[in-house]
Chains A and B, each alone.
Chain A
């Protein structure tokens, strides 16, 4: 396995994704977090996380594998999957992250909701980018934010996702800055 330069964020698509979507995610991650991003597929089969009864994938198990398979000097990891994710106590999740840890994942499964057969690719990509930044934000120790405009705001629906902006509010920016300083010094 390659040795990555320190402070690199790994973007790990689990299935094939549009290059244009990947480019938008990378751009947003670099803008918000300020670290280089590298694409690195780490898992190609999610069968280990499949729950037959629920017909969904257990995201916590996927995070563990992403964390284990990523290079040891990777700063953070963001997995992206088309599958529907769950954690046992909840019916579904848009994504999950190890709070203050390394791994995060988002699911694209429910993000197309409301678009029907119309393409609306740009809006769809915007949703994906927001969820990507949101979940990765948790690995930088950011909690949910009460500001409905902040990207760390917890969204009850895709409509909420559409309403929030694609940047951090000033509180979360300050907390991210603190966390980055802590990571750099430690």
Chain B
């Protein structure tokens, strides 16, 4: 079983502590809240996979918290904790979106199995999302464009790095094109005729990732009806791209380190050594140095990966590339949708130049795609862009980019009544990015 980020909400200290201690031994990251109000405040800043929520609490009831959380972020699995005799309330909670309920004191097995079930469900959802993203990624390869100094430096590094067979670590915010850089290195390397095999390490739970990477022999585990090659084997002669490397579990870190040291690996349940003939490129948007200090990432693996490293610049630091990227995306989407849109108005371009692009090139791409869909004439206008807010115009003259972004985030949150999912959709950023912005700008929900 992998690990989950869990919030326990219970007004009894002893229950919170005993449950937290138990779950931590399973390797989960656990936070605790003593009331519904405290939980909602924590949820504004941190994204949890699972909420264990006591139904009967002083102040805000568990049911009220459930409704608020479920409305804002339906992906959080909520398990209600109930005392003997209040099962009817628990059933009411299930009708309101709770995943399941547990009656306390509960059998340790029951808790473990339920957490496992939730994590499997969430992993399946992530995998589906990854596959959709991977499909879109295929058409993005050509979009690593840029005339800025920052991008010219990246292109130079890619050329230099490609010629070697060294391991590369690419860092950078989400949406900056780390995957594209990895593909570019591969396509310019001596291994270019071999396969480029990508794995999103954050998209699989641990037990699936192991089999996905290493493959398995028939009968290695209950579902292993036939032998299967893993991605390491499929990458033979080519490049293995490990995206979101900062997300892998300690066990997988130990396995990967061993492969990189010994240059051989085994399928799960296999005894035949397989030669590891591939180049490794890894990418992360995490601060791995901090992860090492937090003891969630192994230093020895970091050194193995960090032979050559470079950072993809965020779009806000290479704004001179926005026009060329925007034109490129416009051309592509207007062709794809058979629409005759071929210009971006000066005002729309100004809006784009003013915006901070927290989701980077991917967000810009999405913005242009939307503009093409909603646009009426031949020219993209500011109001066609999802980033446009009339307030920007009055604010723009004397405000910094951060102030404008903060104002925009506040506007959207206000419009959606602080519905995090809706707000993130409108802003075209993921929820964790939105949470970090709320935290960074100290935005608080009005009373």
Q: A154 — which chain B residues lie within 8 A by C-beta?
A: 25-26, 112
Q: Which among B12, B18, B206 has the highest number of chain A CB atoms within 10 Å?
A: B18
B139 interfacial by beta-carbon distance below 8 Å: no
B377 interfacial by beta-carbon distance below 8 Å: no
A89 interfacial by beta-carbon distance below 8 Å: yes
In the complex, A174 Cα to B112 Cα: how many Å?
A: 25
Write the residues of chain A forming the contact surface with B, with a CB cutoff of 8 angstroms.
Answer: 60, 86-93, 96-97, 99, 138, 143-144, 146, 154, 156-157, 170-171, 174-175
Contact B25 A156 (CB under 8 A): no
B15 interfacial by beta-carbon distance below 8 Å: yes
Query: What are 12 of the A-B contact pairs (CB < 8 Å)?
Result: A88-B105, A89-B15, A89-B105, A90-B18, A90-B107, A90-B108, A91-B106, A99-B25, A144-B25, A144-B27, A146-B251, A174-B254
Contact A91 B108 (CB under 8 A): yes
Q: A171 — which chain B residues lie within 8 A by C-beta?
A: 250-251, 254-255
Q: B104 — which chain A residues lie within 8 A by C-beta?
A: 89
Q: A93 — which chain B residues lie within 8 A by C-beta?
A: 108
Q: A170 — which chain B residues lie within 8 A by C-beta?
A: 254
In the complex, A37 Cα to B11 Cα: how many Å?
A: 41
In the complex, A99 Cα to B23 Cα: how many Å?
A: 11
Q: Contacts A60-B17, A90-B18, A91-B108 given: A144-B250 contact, CB under 8 Å? A: no
In the complex, A143 Cα to B112 Cα: how many Å?
A: 14
Number of interface residues of B (CB under 8 A): 27
In the complex, A179 Cα to B133 Cα: how many Å?
A: 39
B203-235 Cβ-contact flags toward A at 8 Å (1 or 0): 000110000000000000000000000000000
In the complex, A87 Cα to B250 Cα: how many Å?
A: 28
Q: How many Å from the CB of B382 to the closest CB on chain A?
A: 52
In the complex, A170 Cα to B112 Cα: how many Å?
A: 24
Contact B207 A146 (CB under 8 A): yes
Q: B111 — which chain A residues lie within 8 A by C-beta?
A: 90
Of all chain B residues, the one with the shortest Cβ separation from A152 is B25
In the complex, A174 Cα to B298 Cα: how many Å?
A: 11
Q: B21 — which chain A residues lie within 8 A by C-beta?
A: 60, 87, 96, 99
Q: How many Å from the CB of A181 to the closest CB on chain B?
A: 11
Q: How many Å from the CB of A102 to the closest CB on chain B?
A: 14
Q: How many Å from the CB of B392 to the closest CB on chain A?
A: 48
Contact B25 A97 (CB under 8 A): yes
Contact A60 B18 (CB under 8 A): yes
Contact A144 B26 (CB under 8 A): yes
Contact B250 A91 (CB under 8 A): no
Q: How many Å from the CB of B37 to the closest CB on chain A?
A: 22
Closest 9 pairs (CB-CB, A-B): A143-B27, A87-B18, A89-B19, A156-B109, A89-B18, A171-B251, A88-B18, A144-B26, A88-B14
B441 interfacial by beta-carbon distance below 8 Å: no
Contact A89 B106 (CB under 8 A): yes
Q: How many Å from the CB of A90 to the closest CB on chain B?
A: 5
Q: Contacts A88-B18, A89-B19, A171-B250 given: A143-B26 contact, CB under 8 Å? A: yes
Q: Known A-B contacts: A97-B25, A99-B21. Give 15 more (CB < 8 A).
A: A60-B21, A87-B18, A87-B21, A88-B12, A89-B15, A89-B18, A90-B111, A99-B24, A144-B27, A154-B25, A156-B108, A156-B112, A171-B250, A171-B251, A175-B254
In the complex, A175 Cα to B25 Cα: how many Å?
A: 14
